[in-house]
Amino acid sequence: MTQRLFIGLMSGTSLDGVDGVLADFSAAPRVLAQASRPMPSELRQDFLRLNSSGEDELHRAALAANGLTRLYAQTVHDLLEQARRLGIDAAAISAIGAHGQTVRHQPGGTNGYTWQLNNPALLAELTGIDVVADLRNADLAAGGQGAPLVPGFHAALWGHGQSELGVLNIGGISNLTLLSPNRPVVGFDCGPGNALMDHWCERHTGQPFDANGQWAASGCVQPAVLERLLDEPFFAQAPPKSTGRDLFHPQWLAARLGEAAHNAAPQDVQASLTALTARVCADHLRRYLPSAQELLVCGGGALNAELMRRLRSELPGLPVLASDARGLPAMQVEACAFAWLAWCWFERRPASRPEVTGARGARVLGALYPASSR
């Protein structure tokens, strides 16, 4: 059987870096190589500033897109070096699936839009490989949310068994996929994942994230603080729904914390933010798939031991496992999903899930930017 090789690139809401995989889709999805590059601090700050309006915004956005694209290209070259050692020539790789960095997500209504900063033509030029990008707008044009995109991949990977399964991706934002035999896929954003925790940790410790959740574990959840954080209408909103830093940003957090921002110990607020992510994710699973037999966790949140502990505490008796236990490491799932989306484009397979996004129908997602060397 001929190999169908694709690269997937992902830089998520957490803004911690770029993850890339080289995957083979000639049979069941199989990762052949993995590479990661940290997000430079200056580029990360550029993206954080671009989440709200500011002076000379279009110019700054274009520069940030170019900076991210060059980081993507470096990640691709890391993958190509690994491929070379495996005896795989770059010419055997059909395309790169490159999502870009979301800086605005305002779906819904006739003027809904989503904006991912990327320069796929530059990426094709720098790598010599075709690029599939602009992966959300076809669904948005069909009346959908354009997000989340990964439930289709979760279904392709784990949706063929007879058990009822939840797949929870915890990046900057958390999203949940619900898989049940002989039923449509359900998927939606739950709310904050790591974004608020990362912001609070960086503000008070200077570290970009709470490694392994150790700082949160040193604090105590403040019930009154947690209740204020939970008092957000998005959490009760029925799917289809998606969100991002447009809603869950530092100003939202400051307004919710109020006096607690000054009166509570910073590590207690961090513990409460960790509890918030766990509670919101668990509440959505209980609400929409109470008969779940297992919860797989992927994304950076799967590496946070304190967050995983709180998820297990919220869901007693339910196996809560990192996706590594089911064949795909937690930090490879999203990048592999974007390789899969590129594969779907080449196969002309609709990859959107209207039951997830609310679109009028399934759509082939993405646009091709061919490399000049091909």
Q: What is the CATH classification number for the domain harbouring 236?
A: 3.30.420.40
Instruction: Report how far residue 188's alpha carbon sits from residue 173's, in angstroms, rounded to the nearest whole number.
Output: 11
pLDDT in tens, 33-82: 999 999 999 999 999 899 888 899 999 999 999 999 999 999 999 999 99
| Coil/strand/helix, residue 174 | strand
* Structural domain containing residue 137: 5-146+332-369
Residue tagged 């000379």 (tokens)? 56
Is the pLDDT reported for residue 83 higher than 80? yes
pTM of the full structure: 0.94
pLDDT in tens, 209-225: 999 999 999 999 999 99
Is the pLDDT reported for residue 161 higher than 90? no
In the chain, where does DSSP find H-type helix? 41-49, 57-85, 120-127, 137-141, 151-158, 195-205, 214-217, 223-230, 233-236, 250-257, 260-263, 266-288, 305-314, 333-347, 354-357
The first and second tokens of residue 221, run together, are 């959840």
| Claim to verify: residue 132 and residue 179 sit in the same structural domain | no
| Claim to verify: residue 142 and residue 179 sit in the same structural domain | no
- C-beta of residue 27 within 8 angstroms of C-beta of residue 15: no
Backbone angles phi, psi at 246, to 5 degrees: -60, -35
Please compute the mean of the pLDDT values over residues 311-327 and round it to a whole number.
97
The number of domains in the chain is 2
Q: Within a domain: residue 280?
A: yes
| Coil/strand/helix, residue 242 | coil
| Claim to verify: residue 120 and residue 199 sit in the same structural domain | no
| Measured distance between the N- and C-terminal CA atoms of the chain, rounded to whole angstroms | 23
- C-beta of residue 33 within 8 angstroms of C-beta of residue 83: yes
pLDDT in tens, 103-154: 999 998 788 999 999 999 999 999 999 999 999 999 999 999 999 999 999 9
Q: Within a domain: residue 212?
A: yes
pLDDT in tens, 192-207: 999 999 999 999 999 9
Distances, alpha carbon 232 to alpha carbons 169, 229, 262, 269, 288, in Å = 21, 7, 21, 17, 19
Residue type for position 353? R
The first and second tokens of residue 277, run together, are 């992510």
